[in-house]
Amino acid sequence: MKQLTKEELSEILKQHKIWLESGHKLGSKANLSGAYLSGANLSGANLSRADLSRADLSGVDLVDANLEGANLSGANLYKANLEEANLSGANLSAANLYKANLEEANLSGANLSAANLFRTNLYGAKLEEANLSAANLSAANLSAANLFRTNLSGADLKGADLKGADLYGAKLYTANLSEANLSEANLEGANLSEANLEGAKLSRANLFRTHLYGVNLSGANLSDANLYGAKGITIFQHEQHLAVAFKNNKYIKIGCKSYKTVNWVKNFEKIGEDEYYTNSQIKRYGQFINMINEQQSNEGGIK
């Protein structure tokens, strides 16, 4: 890893600015691949289309920097400050952004596949149509973030804060969202097939026409969520208790209780009594449980 003096870095930035302003005819594109820049102050710097692949940018100040279309693949951005930085179209695949600050940053169309964003602050960040497939976003702050049509397939979002985030049309196929906070999030038209939402908070979330085939909703909080037109689940509302059949009717969640359908069939009366349901409620939910059991039996039976 090459270490640069302040003078060398200043000259590289100067030549890069000339390169950009001359339409790539004069100066030279910044080549900082593999450079050691830890702790440097690059706030407001214009590094558009620069090569920063595998560079050590840990703790670097990149507030309001322009990194549009830059190559940051494999770069180390541990605890870097990228608040309000422009990273649209940048390549951050396999980059380390652990505990980095990307608040209000623009990452539209960026490639963050397999990147490490564990505990990263992405509050209010723009991630429209970005690629975050297989990225580690566990415990990340994505509240109020714009994830319109973002690819999060196979991403780890365990314990992430997505409160109020816009995930319209997002791809979350096989994503891990266990214990994530998705309250008030917009998931209209999103694909959550085979995703893990165990213990997730989805209160007041918009799941209109969301794909929920094979999804795990065990222990999830769906209070006041909009499930109208959701695909891959069957819902039933009676008084204050919401019943949801999921995972191809193999599981049923009623209120805060989730069990296999076969267990509900055998024990719904006792469960209802233990939860202080009325006889009328037990009867109505029993009808729903038996209907789901019959549907599952017709599709192959309970093993």
In sequence order, what are the beta bridge partners of 73? none
For residue 255, count other CB atoms closer than 10 A to its CB. Answer: 16
Say yes or no to pLDDT of 165 above 50: yes
197-224 residue pLDDT tens: 999 999 999 999 999 999 999 999 998 8
Q: At what angle do helices 279-298 and 261-274 cross, to 10 degrees?
A: 180
| Mean pLDDT of the 162-188 span | 98
126-154 residue pLDDT tens: 999 999 999 999 999 999 999 999 999 99
d(CA 31, CA 51): 5
- Quick check: 151 and 172 in contact, CB under 8 A? no
Please provide the average confidence, as pLDDT, over all residues in the chain: 95
Say yes or no to pLDDT of 274 above 50: yes
For residue 229, count other CB atoms closer than 10 A to its CB. Answer: 11
Say yes or no to pLDDT of 303 above 50: no
| Mean pLDDT of the 162-185 span | 98
27-64 residue pLDDT tens: 999 999 999 999 999 999 999 999 999 999 999 999 99
In the chain, % of residues over pLDDT 70: 98
Please give the C-alpha separations between residue 2 and each of 9, 11, 32, 46, 125, in angstroms, as whole numbers: 12, 16, 9, 21, 32
Q: Cα-flanking dihedrals φ and ψ of residue 139, to 5°? A: 65, 15
55-109 residue pLDDT tens: 999 999 999 999 999 999 999 999 999 999 999 999 999 999 999 999 999 999 9
d(CA 295, CA 242): 19
Q: Which three-class secondary structure state does DSSP give residue 262?
A: helix
What is the reported pLDDT for 256? Answer: 87
What is the reported pLDDT for 302? Answer: 41
What is the reported pLDDT for 301? Answer: 47
5-33 residue pLDDT tens: 999 999 999 999 999 999 999 999 999 99
